[in-house]
Chain A
Amino acid sequence: MSIFKEHKTIADRSAADRSRHKRKIEKAIREGVTDIIADESIIGQEGKKRIKIPVKGIKEWQFIFGQNESNKQVGSAPGSPIHKGQVVKKGQQQQQGQGNNPGNDKGEEHYEVEITLEELAEYLFDSLKLPDLDRKKFKIAVQEKPKQHGTRPYGIRPRLDKKESAIQRLKRKSAAKRTEQIELDPETGEEVFPFHDNDLRYHFIKEKPKEATNAVIFFMMDVSGSMTTNVKFIARSFYFLLYQFIRHKYEKVEIVFIAHTTEADEVDEERFFKRAAAGGTHISSAPFLALDLINDRYHPNSWNIYAFHCTDGDNWEEDNDKAIAAFIELRDVCQMLSYNEIVLASERPNWDSSENSKLWSRLKSIEGKNMKMNILKSKDDIWPAFRHLFGVENV
């Protein structure tokens, strides 16, 4: 005779482990951002659009044998005709990915996470901050105060909501009592039930942007003959991130696209990214055009201005002095001006051993709080560069 126990509903026992697994996946999403943002299909999409992101499974590392000829598998197929050399499983051709993208590992687990661009932006930008607005005295005066918006389970110590945290602990305690998981102190015999990290609640403070706070972003890109498709691809991914980020932080963003060779033009998005490359390079033309537009349409007193420039650094020498002057002038009206040089290791002529362009070394002298510079050597550098621009901590 066996024992039978009737069904009794117990707490969903794996809930906590599932949520930690989920957090690991979220972290993987964040870390895999360079792969995600480089996907052309999401560039230029609307915020509500749902995108599928392949996320590599969180691995549990163990010693395993590789799948190769030395590791023979055994099968059993009674009744079927089989013979030596018969193909039983079609192998996947090694994907010839672009350059540094080797074929997929065998047996790799993939999750498909479906999120909106807005959620993606949240994953990406939660820890990042826009450069502060301290020069905009006029606007700070009217800006609304940060408002408390309920609580959330993470935050900084000073914002700890003691009352809510105590309530959470009590809730957990009474749940634990039901499942008899409370422990007694061996010495005093009293119940021991310490605070758990998950109990803690923090005030959530939302910095509501003032409606009148407008931002304009100047995307300036070198489209001269030396900018190859790969370089432009990185520029494009970088701009996409910027666009999403600033839109995440501001309700209203205007974007101005400036493409330049020896002369700069204001263009629309499509032409900005797809414009055929030709001609020489006068980098100064872009910041000068930006300055003209600022004078016309975006007065620094009522606009937060961001300007980003992407180039391969291959400027004509005669233009360097002008370019530096233009950048200094632009820097002084911008919240942030960023100069980004994209130098692909694979595309460098091997007689050119210098790390950066001449312009780079000269611009270095005017780098400062609102003038930042990046070098991008591959698409893996996009995110670090981005953090360099906006990261709270120094990267």
Chain B
Amino acid sequence: MSDWSFDDLTKWDEKICEIAKSRGLDWYEIAYESCDYFEMIGNMAYHGMPSHFPHWSYGKSFERTHSMYNAGLEGLPYELIINSNPSIAYLMLENPLYLQILIMAHCVGHSDFFKNNRCFKDTDAEHVTRKFRSARKRIQNYIENPHIGIENVENIVDACHSVQYQIDRRGRFRLEEKDLKKSLIDKINSDKNKVYKKIDLNKKPLEPEYDILLFILENSSKLEDWERDIIEIVRSESCYFMPQIRTKIMNEGWASFWHYKILNELELPDSLHIPFLKTHNQVLRPWGGRINPYHLGFEIFKKIEEKFGIEECFTAREVFSDESFIMQYLTEEHARELNLFTYSPKGRKNPDWSIDDVVDEEGWPEVRQALISSIGSNSIPVIYVNELKDRTLILQHEHDGRDLELDYADNCVKNISKLWKDKVKLFTVLENDIFEF
């Protein structure tokens, strides 16, 4: 069926690597595995991890992709590569040669990004596959343990998944509680203006704790060992994936930026070059109602190169995340070219979605703010532990103008109380009023 052999792939890979190296890319070695489309969907369901603990939600994810594939609604993503050393990437057997070449060049860009972007420095690419394998084994043991069993394991995983992204998104350095206390005492002692007088040193936590799972781990006395282990496993998986959520636009933009450069340098015969251009345009087309990260990232990197040179591109890919990248480089003029706009439904009486702002003098700050609020981890509500009082876990939603979906929040709170095994309260704002769950 396919028009290629492994020798072809090796040959083209060699050329790709040569060009990439000469241009200054620095990536983890890539291990390509071939698979058919069924296995591809299987791998996608587990985020490409060669080994991952079981959970029904991955079965659901499989079914969804599979039925969309069968319904022709969605082509499979052309690449799937994980942040590990070596980086594992999958090549679908059904893909024609030009697409494999495109994917390999694209993967080099991703792997370079994983290796060099600052957000990824704590993701431990060296050991990640081993960690996932060990987590799978432990969870498998809990499942097979007659005293625990699959139902209990899945309940805990379900509950953890409700707050999986309520972690400290920036991976900031955390002070130990006693050090934090000490620094606060110092502040109070040297405080002449009595600004810090009101600090309650017995409050727990002393400062808002954004890492809900960690707080539960550190402060619960009711968790069984296996439950602790599962919470820790889910939490560390979230920490591993959070940088990818925070750099989706940059990461896809960078990989597309490079596959485009490399393929144009490969001197492909027309029979490969023309279908390549077609696919490239297809992948990078704007999506209208949503931001296509491939498109936006690619366009911004292109603009940076035009204006400041390729060196600036390399610096940007190292130091920024999507949010700071957009703030730094997306100009009003460029946004106008991209024809960005914001839109929303207009309430119960008029359910149609209509455009609120377009990029003009008046609208640009609004569009920019909405764009920043919708990208990376900003699309996930921020919930933190405000206080632990009489065994009640009091959570606070950091309201930024956007209200929570009530049904979901309600069920999340129920799930958190399964982990905390005591009362849980959540405060938020709903239509400008304080709302308590």
Which A residues fall within an 8 A CB radius of B? Answer: 1-7, 9-10, 12-14, 16-22, 24, 57-80, 82-94, 105, 183, 194-197
Q: Determine which of B10, B56, B406 lies in contact with A66 in the assembled complex, contact meaning CB atoms within 8 Å.
A: B406
- Are the CB atoms of A194 and B144 closer together than 8 Å? yes
Bound-state CA distance A90–B352 (Å) is 5
Question: Does B354 contact A86, Cβ atoms closer than 8 Å?
Answer: yes
Q: Which of B9, B62, B347, B358 contacts A68 (CB 8 A)?
A: B347
Distance between Cα atoms of A110 and B327 in the complex (Å): 38
Q: B404 contacts which chain A residues (CB < 8 A)?
A: 63-66
Whether B29 and A2, one on each chain, are in contact in the complex, defined by CB atoms closer than 8 angstroms, is yes
With A7-B93, A17-B59 as known contacts, state yes or no: A1 contacts B341, CB within 8 Å. Answer: no
- Taking a contact as CB atoms under 8 Å apart, the answer to whether A61 and B290 are in contact is no
A62–chain B nearest beta-carbon distance, Å: 6
Contact partner, A89, options B289, B401, B405, Cβ 8 Å: B289
Residue pairs across A and B with Cβ atoms less than 8 A apart, 25 shown, are: A1-B13, A2-B32, A14-B42, A18-B63, A61-B161, A61-B411, A63-B383, A63-B397, A64-B405, A66-B404, A70-B344, A74-B371, A75-B341, A76-B287, A76-B296, A78-B338, A88-B354, A89-B289, A93-B351, A94-B351, A183-B137, A183-B141, A194-B144, A195-B144, A196-B144
Is the beta-carbon distance between A17 and B353 smaller than 8 angstroms? Answer: no
Q: Please, how many angstroms separate the alpha-carbon atoms of A303 and B368 in the complex?
A: 77
Q: Are B33's CB and A5's CB within 8 A? A: yes
A14-B358 in contact (CB<8A): no
Within 8 Å by CB of B354, from A78, A85, A197, lies A85
Asked if A74 contacts B291 (CB within 8 A), the reply is yes
Residues of chain A within 8 A (CB-CB) of B337 are: 78
**How many angstroms between the C-alpha atoms of A93 and B353 in the bound complex?**
12
Q: 9 tightest A-B contacts by CB? A: A91-B351, A17-B59, A18-B59, A21-B59, A89-B353, A61-B411, A20-B56, A3-B31, A7-B34
Residues A65 and B381 in contact, CB atoms below 8 Å apart: yes
Neighbouring A residues of B60 by C-beta, 8 Å: 17, 21, 57-58, 60
How would residues 274 to 315 of chain B score, 1 for a CB under 8 Å from any chain A CB and 0 otherwise?
Answer: 000000000000111111100110000000000000000000
Cα separation A70 to B345 with both chains bound (whole Å): 9
- Which A residues are CB-close (under 8 A) to B347? 68-69
Which residues of the partner chain B approach A105 to less than 8 Å between Cβ atoms? 407
Question: Which of B162-170, B188-196, B213-221 has 4 or more CB atoms under 8 Å from chain A?
Answer: B162-170
**Interface check B101, CB cutoff 8 A:** no
The reply on B342 being an interface residue by CB < 8 A is yes
Which chain A residue has the least Cβ–Cβ distance from B397? A63
User: Could you say which residues of chain A place their CB within 8 Å of the CB of B36?
Assistant: 7
B376 within 8 Å of A by Cβ?
A: no
Closest to A18 in B: B59
Residues of B contacting A196 in the complex (Cβ-Cβ under 8 angstroms): 143-144
Knowing A61-B412, A69-B345, say if A20 contacts B289 (CB, 8 Å). no
Count A-B pairs with CB separation below 8 Å.
251
Residue of A nearest to B335 (CB): A76
Q: Is the CB of B14 within 8 A of A1?
A: yes
Smallest Cβ distance from B224 to chain A, in angstroms? 19
Residues of A near B373 (CB, < 8 A) are 72
Residues A76 and B291 in contact, CB atoms below 8 Å apart: yes
Residues of B within 8 A of A87 (CB): 352-354
Bound complex: CA A78 to CA B9 (Å): 36
Query: Do B351 and A58 touch (CB < 8 A)?
Result: no
Q: Which residues of chain A come closer than 8 Å to B42, judged between CB atoms?
A: 12-14
Which residue from B6, B57, B137, B158 sits with its C-beta under 8 Å from A6?
A: B6
CB proximity of A221 to chain B, nearest CB, Å = 38
Instruction: Give the nearest-CB partner of B348 in chain A.
Output: A94
Cα A63 to Cα B426 in complex, Å, equals: 12
Q: Which residues of A contact B412 (CB under 8 A)?
A: 61-63
Which of A14, A21, A62, A79 is in CB contact (< 8 Å) with B46? A14
Roughly how many angstroms separate A67 CA and B352 CA in the complex, as a whole number? 12
Instruction: Pick from A17, A66, A76, A85: contact of B340, CB below 8 A.
Output: A76
Complex interface bits, B13-38 against A, C-beta within 8 A gives 1, otherwise 0 = 11001000000000001111111101
Extra A-B contacts (8), CB below 8 Å, given A65-B404, A73-B374, A89-B353: A24-B56, A59-B408, A62-B408, A63-B408, A73-B290, A73-B353, A76-B292, A89-B343
Q: A14, B345: Cβ atoms under 8 Å?
A: no
B353 touches A66 (CB 8 A): no
